[in-house]
Amino acid sequence: MDEKFSLRSTPFPLQTIFGDKVRNIGKGKGEGNCGFAKSERKVLRTVFKDPPNNINDKSKFAKTFMVYKQLGSTEIPKSDQYLSQEAVADSQGILHTVLHQPRASTMEKEIVIVNIEGILGNFHRREVSIRSETVQFLKELNCRYQVILVSGWKLARFLKLISYLSSKGIYISAAYKQVSHGSNTTEEFDLKRHDWYLDYSRIYKDFKINSANVKRVVVLAALMTHPDEINHPHFVVEYTGSLRPTFFVRKAPIPLLQFPFAPTTLLIPHMANLPLHLGPVPEALRQYFSSKSLSTFFNSQISYFTSNVLHKELLYLYHKQKPMNANFQSFLLLKSGFFSEIFLLHKENYIQRLNCENLLEFTLSMNY
C-alpha cells in the first residue's frame, strides 16, 4: 500500500500530486549544516499537476518499449549475442520516468546516474536513513554534471526524498523508478525480479546516449561485499557450486540489443555493510571524465578493473548461446576512506492513496 506523509513546503511542487494543502512544518531534525550557503535564486518549475479523474490515454506507455535505432553506429549487433529490452522486462521490469527537467546550464555536461538504494539512502524496518554527506555530495555533482536518480522504492517514498533534496537547493535533471509492467502485481514482481542488473535504456533514449558518447556516463551502483573480497578474474561474481552464482553488485548496467554497450560503473560499498564516505567520489569522477582513457586514470582510493562476466551470466539466465566475445565492462571501485555518519530521515507510520492504481496510471495523468 502507498504511504501517507506530509511534505515540506519547497520550491519543488511535488506535493500537488496529493491534491491537498501542505502544512509548513519547518525544518526537520538531522538536516545539519553542509557548508553550503542557501541559494536565493528563484527558479520557476512546473513539474506536476493534479491528475484528472478519468485516465484513458495509454499511448505513452508504448514509447517505453520502442526499438530504438542506434544513433552514431553503423554496426548492427548480432541478436544471438544480445537480449532485447522486451526479453528482460518480464523479470526485471523497466525504468519509468517520474521527473525529467534537464537544466540548460548543464545540457552538454556529463551524466552521473545515482542509484538511491545503498548509495545515498537505505530503507529498513520502515525507516529511511541517509548518509550525512548526501546533500553536500549531490551539490558538488549538481554543479558539474547532469545528476539522475534511480530507485525501486515506492513512489511516495521516492518523492519524499526528492522533495527533501529540493528543499536543500538540489534540482536533479531526472528521476526514474523501477517498475513492473503488464499484469504482474507488485508482490509477484518483487519475488521474481533480479537485482544484480538493470536496464537503463529509458535514460539512454531520454538523454541521447549511444555507443559514440557513452564515455559521458557513469553509473553509481552498490557493492554488496567488502572491497577486499572481490578477486580476479570474475571480480563481481562468486562461483560456489550452487545453481546460481553470488553477485556482488546491485543494478549494474548491462548491454542490450537496442543499446549494445554499458557505461562505466562506479561501485560503492552498500551503506548498510560498509558506509565509506562519499567524499573522494566527486574528485574521482572529475579525473575520470578528464582522462583520455582509463589507462591514464589514477586515484589512491579508487581501483579499476574490467569484466565480461555480467554479460555472460545474463545470456545464461535467458538461455542464450554463449558468445565467443562477451562485452567487457569497466568498473571503478571505492576501496578505502573514512566512514560516513548515518542519520534517520523519516519513519513511515501511516498510509495514503495516491488517487491512482499504479505508477503508470499516475505518470500518464501528468501534463509535462
Q: Would the pLDDT of 83 be above 70?
A: yes
CA dihedral 221→222→226→231, nearest 10 degrees, is -40
Band of the pLDDT at 75, cuts 50, 70, 90?
Answer: low
Q: Would the pLDDT of 26 be above 80?
A: no
Q: How many helices (H) and strands (E) does the chain have?
A: 8, 16
Indicate the SS3 state at residue 268: strand
Q: Would the pLDDT of 247 be above 70?
A: yes
Higher-confidence residue of 311 and 13: namely 311
pLDDT of residue 345: 86
pLDDT of residue 361: 59
Kindly state the helix (H) or strand (E) to which residue 179 belongs, with its residue range: strand 174-179
pLDDT of residue 359: 54
Mean pLDDT of 39-53: 38
pLDDT of residue 322: 62
Higher-confidence residue of 5 and 90: namely 90
Share of the chain above pLDDT 70, in %: 69
Q: Which fold has domain 81-347?
A: Rossmann fold (3.40.50)
Instruction: Please tell me the distance from the alpha carbon of residue 315 to that of residue 95, in angstroms, as a whole number.
Output: 21
Q: Would the pLDDT of 22 be above 70?
A: no
The structural domains of the chain, with segments of one domain joined by +, span 81-347
The pLDDT tens digits of the residues spanning 271-302 come to 999 999 999 999 999 999 998 888 788 899 99
